[in-house]
Amino acid sequence: MNSNWFKLLMKIMKIDYGKNLLLKGLPVIFNKKGATLKLGSNVVIKSSFLSNLVGLYQRTIIVTRTSEAEIHIGDNVGISGATIYARKSIKIGKNTHIGGNAKILDNDFHPLEIEARNADDKEKIGTRPVVIGENCFIGCNSLILKGTVLEDGCVVGAGAVVSGYFEKNSVIAGNPARLIKKLQS
């Protein structure tokens, strides 16, 4: 399937995208009825093995899972084999680059409590919005967890597990991720 056919499918799913959307390979993009999924102009989504030589393990996956969910991806954003999965809200600012195999999740996927988990009670799934500012860089194989806020200019090191609030121009790395240094603006 070429990207023009896939863009037609995106329109049918009410996915709003700007000019010059570039799809390298075939992503998995799903917008739940009633949810909002918006991609800015000049967004590049890499989903084929050779589109990023860091070694992509999967195609890019972008999913709104509930009818209340929203994903907003700004202009000039690059995404490589990443997963962006929202039950509530994920916002990614313009000029941000998301490295190979990164995961951005605004929820726990399953309830933490045993009874709720065994009953598959979706209402008990922990969910908090994720906000990634403009001009950020998310390193390969990193994991951005629910409730994370990365202000403009943040850099996330490869393989980091990120949770919490990080000020503008922070360089963060590790598991759990912590501030390594501040960049000059």
Which residue numbers are catalytic?
Answer: 110
Measured CA distances, 44 to 17, 57, 94, 126, 177 (Å):
11, 18, 12, 30, 27
Is the distance from CB of 46 to CB of 22 less than 8 angstroms? no
- Give CA angle at 131 (70, 107), nearest 5°: 60
C-alpha 94/C-alpha 83 separation (Å) is 18
* Pair type for strands 177-182 and 170-174: antiparallel
58 and 79 in contact (C-beta within 8 Å)?
no
Task: Enter the DSSP assignment of 153.
Answer: T
